[in-house]
Chains A and B, each alone.
Chain A
Amino acid sequence: MTSAQIGAYSTGVGLRLAHLAEVVADRPPVPWFEIHPENFLGNPHASELLDEVAEHYPISMHTVGVSVGSASGIDRAHLKRVVALVDRVKPFLVSGHLAWSTHEDAYLNDLLPLPYDDESLHLLSTHISEVQDALGRQFLIENPSSYVAFTHSTMSEVEFLGELVARTGCGLLCDVSNIYLSAHNVAFDPQRYIEALPANAIGELHLGGFTAEADEADAGGTVLIDTHAAAVCEPAWTLYTHAVRSFGSIPTLIEWDNEIPALPVLIAEARRADAIKTAFLAQEERCDAVG
């Protein structure tokens, strides 16, 4: 199933282990699910249940472990396992992160930031091409949530992503909440960021919740932490509306990974995203009719 066939209106939900048995038993009205392969690869029981889910729902696969930004190389053994799962589950999208999370033989369980310069660009282009060759399909790269940047970066994040698309033919997963959070934390204009992304490369959108904390180094200031432990905040919904205007109606995902609520709460968030897309498409149709 292609991204287009998933439907312009549909908003999926991240499938976490807490909801797995419920989804298998009750088949809730969710148009598609996104999974992290790392939750299933070491867990045969969950993996078996995933096969059942995949029989009834389209799946998008979002890896947090194929570390395309690692200078010590990508984890090829892990990539091989992901490829095998992709072959089995047949997701309509496969994505990863503009980040690194492995260093030599340690997995650091976080998405760590990269400087945006020629060396990183060359490394990531090579690694993304290798991943796409192994998958035999396009890989989508997600923009990160940033707390810091690097003084020696020679290009902006959005320029870097555009170059990766041009060099590798990869797609982009645009996490709207990450843009809002990073714009707040490292100071850029989030709307301009969206406008500068190559719209044709966007294959999926993410929306997730974050947590504001007092910035220890800045009295009265806050830093936004990408906890995925809360509902999507109002400014992120506003930015999402802007993203839909820029990119059109793209499959969108509600991410909620910590303090996970009942499934109907996630479905309600998904319906809100659908309503924004529906309103945008209705407006487009009116414009077409007038035009």
Chain B
Amino acid sequence: MRLAELQSQMCLALRADTVPADLPLMGGRDPRRRFLIHRRNYETSLIKAMMQKFPATAWLVGAADLMEAARVFVHASPPAEPCISQYGRDFPDFLSGTSLAAKLPYLRDFCELEWHLGRAAIAIDEPPVPISVLARFDPGQLAGLMLRFQSGVRYLHAGRPVDELMQIFLSESAPKSFMLTAEPVWLEIRGARGAFEIARMTADEFAFRNILARGAKVEQAARVAIEANASFDITTAFSNLFAQGLVAGWDRQE
């Protein structure tokens, strides 16, 4: 058997339940069973990575149920690259399609929030760009400016106040009962070097910052914010970005 064919078959065997009978294996009394050790290594190492990444989600749904969901996930969506810290971005979406989400309609948002917290906590802050940099531009040029936010700044719009639920998990003080109202929240997650914080925002400011953080020009962000709130104060919102140290760099297209 050629190596490419052999590795294709082994790859399939790792991700499926059975090892093909014609894999040319030897070792021990039953080499195909032995090969399943690799399948178990693959599965358990990635499940462990997911459980370490999503302890709050495990707390919410129960560790056994989350492990089972992670087991299905790691076979359906293997990592695309060897840095496992990047793996799991699609897990919140995956969970939203499982039976766990039928019981907890906010599960996807909660898991997504946890993903962002994990990413924010391993970020590092760069020296913030001071607002004085704007003096270089004519007022007309500011509209075409694109800002690069600190890498530990993330935005999440959730249909329910999942941030309150996360605070309960983080404070390790679960109340006897907790009612999660169906009120949407707009969250800014900010972290660096092991620490993070979650702040609530208004819908218009969220729209402004969220689209800027994704690389939109200032004029586009202003338009989106004004659509959300006709009396949105662009000048204050813009200077707040700098005052709060959110901006790590900038670029301008003519």
Task: Identify the A interface with B (CB < 8 A).
Answer: 38-39, 41-46, 48, 64-65, 70-72, 75, 77-78, 100-110, 112-115, 119-120, 123, 146-152, 185-187, 215-218, 221, 223, 225
Contacts and interface: CB of A to CB of B under 8 A. Distances in A.
Nearest to B33: A217
B26 A108 contact: no
B183 to A, nearest CB: 33
Contact of B78 (A107, A113, A216): A107
A151 B4 CA distance: 16
Contacts of B31: 148
B27 interface: yes
Contacts of A105: 80
B210 interface: no
Closest 4 CB pairs of A and B: A65-B82, A217-B30, A42-B83, A42-B85
B123 A45 contact: yes
Contacts of A216: 30, 33
A48 B83 CA distance: 16
Interface core residue of A100, A104, A148, A151 (most chain B CB under 10 Å): A148
A109 B121 contact: no
B135 interface: no
Interface stretch (B6-14, B99-107, B217-225, B242-250): B6-14
Given A108-B42, A223-B34, A64 B82 contact: yes
B84 to A, nearest CB: 7
A58 B120 CA distance: 30
B interface, size bucket: 35 or more
B248 to A, nearest CB: 12
Contact of B7 (A43, A45, A65, A100): A100
A147 B34 contact: yes
B34 A44 contact: no
Given A45-B192, A112-B10, A148 B27 contact: yes
A107 B79 contact: yes
Interface in B22-53: 24-31, 33-35, 37-38, 41-42, 45-46
Contact of A46 (B28, B37, B122): B122
A95 B251 CA distance: 40
A150 B28 contact: no
Contacts of B4: 71-72
Nearest to A187: B27
14 contacts: A38-B84, A42-B86, A43-B83, A43-B85, A45-B121, A45-B193, A71-B2, A78-B81, A112-B38, A148-B27, A148-B31, A148-B34, A185-B27, A215-B29
A147 B84 contact: no
Contacts of A218: 28-30
Contact of B38 (A71, A102, A104, A147): A147
B122 A43 contact: yes
Contacts of B159: none
B131 interface: no
Nearest to A150: B24
Contacts of B10: 103, 112
Contact of B26 (A41, A150, A223): A150
B122 A115 contact: no
Contact of B24 (A102, A112, A119, A151): A151
B35 A147 contact: yes
Given A38-B83, A109-B79, A71 B3 contact: yes
Given A45-B194, A215-B29, A223-B34, A110 B42 contact: yes
B82 A146 contact: no
Contacts of A115: 3, 6, 24
A138 B194 CA distance: 36
